[in-house]
C-alpha cells in the first residue's frame, strides 16, 4: 500500500513508548496515570472536609478566627493540585529515539557488529561513563536513564513516581518538589488547626475526639501522613543540596565520593528553582514522517543537538 493511502498521523499517535497522551498530545502522562485518582482523593478528601468543617464552625464561635483559618487551607490545596497537575502532565524530558544505532558506535568484528556498551565523556573535569540504550538506540546523555515503566530514555532521570503516574526528571522535578512541600505544609496546617479548633470549641482535651469526630480523624490522618510526605520532602531537599538525583544517590553514592555535578549549595538551589526549564526535545504535536510505508518515529532526532553531540554520531568528548 502506498504512503499516500495512509492517513497522516501525529507523532504522539505512533510513539513507541507507553505514555498516555491527552488533548492531542499536549499533555503527556505515564502509563500508570490512573493512580492520580487515588492521590487526588488522598489530598482533596481531607482538605475539603477540613474546610467544610471549619465553615460550620464560623457560624458557631469566633467567626473571624475560623475564617482566617480556612483561607490558607484553601490556598494550599489549590497550590497542591496545581503542582500535581504540572508534575504529572508535563513531558519530563523524553529523549527522541534513533531508528538505527549511530554508525560510529558499531564495532565490526569479522562479519559481526558489536555495540560498545559504554563510552567515556567529560563532565566538569570528571570522566563519566554513559551507557548505550538498545531500545532507543542511542548513548544516553549524562544523568539520563531509561524508564522501564514508560519505556523512554529521560533527561536527568530522578525516578518514576507511582503516586503521580509520571517520570520525575529534568522538566518536572521543580514542580514535584513544590508539590511535596505543599503537601507537607497542608498536612501540618490541617493537623495543627484541627487540634486548635477542637480546643477552641470544646476546651477539654479528653473529650475532643468524642465531641468532634471529624476534626479528630483529620488530625490523626494528617499526623500519620506528614511522616511520609515530610520525609520525602526532606530527602529531596537533601538531594538538591548535594545536586544528586534519587537514581544517582542509590546507584553511585555521590555523597561518599566526588560528585561531578556539585556546584555549591546556593548554585544547586538556583539551578533548580530559578533557572529556565529547557524546552522539550520531542514535539509530540508534529506530524510523523513516513518512509516506505512505515511511520518514522525517530526522524526528529537528527534535528536535535544533544549535550555531547548529535544523536546520529557517536561523538567522543
Point out the residues that are catalytic: 161
Indicate the burial class of 31 (C-beta count within 10 angstroms; 0-12, 13-18, 19 or more): middle
DSSP secondary structure string for all residues of 106-164:
-EEETTEEE--SEEEEEETTEEEEEEEETTTTEEPPTT-EEETTTTEEETT--EEETTT
The grid coordinates of residue 242 equal 548535594
Read off φ and ψ for residue 109, nearest 5 degrees: -120, 105
Distance, in Å, from the CA atom of 306 to the CA atom of 314, rounded to the nearest integer, reads 11
H helical segments located in the chain: 11-14, 35-58, 63-88, 173-202, 208-211, 213-242, 246-251, 265-273
Integer angstrom CA distances of residue 253 from 152, 299, 306: 24, 36, 26
Amino acid at each position: 500500500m502506498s504512503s499516500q493511502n495512509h492517513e497522516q498521523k501525529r507523532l504522539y499517535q505512533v510513539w513507541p513508548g507507553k505514555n498516555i497522551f491527552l488533548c492531542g498530545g499536549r499533555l503527556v502522562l505515564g502509563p500508570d496515570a490512573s493512580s492520580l485518582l487515588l492521590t487526588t482523593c488522598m489530598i482533596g478528601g481531607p482538605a475539603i472536609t477540613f474546610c467544610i468543617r471549619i465553615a460550620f464552625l464560623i457560624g458557631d464561635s469566633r467567626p473571624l478566627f475560623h475564617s482566617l483559618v480556612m483561607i490558607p487551607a484553601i490556598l494550599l490545596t489549590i497550590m497542591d493540585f496545581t503542582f500535581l497537575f504540572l508534575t504529572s502532565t508535563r513531558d519530563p524530558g523524553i529523549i527522541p529515539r534513533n531508528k538505527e544505532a549511530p554508525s560510529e558506535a558499531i564495532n565490526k568484528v569479522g562479519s559481526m557488529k558489536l555495540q560498545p556498551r559504554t563510552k567515556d565523556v567529560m563532565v566538569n573535569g570528571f570522566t563519566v561513563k554513559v551507557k548505550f540504550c538498545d531500545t532507543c538506540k542511542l548513548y544516553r546523555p549524562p544523568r539520563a536513564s531509561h524508564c522501564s515503566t514508560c519505556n523512554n530514555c529521560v533527561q536527568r532521570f530522578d525516578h518514576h513516581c507511582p503516586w503521580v503516574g509520571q517520570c520525575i526528571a529534568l522538566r518536572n522535578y521543580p514542580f514535584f518538589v513544590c508539590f511535596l512541600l505543599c503537601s507537607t505544609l497542608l498536612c501540618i496546617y490541617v493537623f495543627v488547626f484541627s487540634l486548635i479548633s477542637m480546643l477552641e470549641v470544646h476546651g477539654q482535651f479528653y473529650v475532643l475526639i468524642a465531641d468532634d469526630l471529624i476534626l479528630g480523624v483529620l488530625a490523626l490522618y494528617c499526623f500519620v501522613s506528614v511522616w511520609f510526605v515530610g520525609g520525602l520532602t526532606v530527602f529531596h531537599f537533601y538531594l538538591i543540596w548535594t545536586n544528586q538525583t534519587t537514581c544517582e544517590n542509590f546507584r553511585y553514592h555521590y555523597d561518599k565520593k566526588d560528585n561531578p555535578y556539585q556546584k555549591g549549595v546556593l548554585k544547586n538551589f538556583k539551578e533548580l528553582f530559578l533557572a529556565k526549564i529547557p524546552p522539550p526535545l520531542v514535539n509530540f504535536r508534529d506530524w510523523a514522517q513516513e518512509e516506505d510505508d512505515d511511520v518514522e518515529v525517530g526522524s526528529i532526532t537528527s534535528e536535535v543537538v544533544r549535550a555531547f553531540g548529535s544523536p546520529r554520531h557517536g561523538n567522543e568528548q
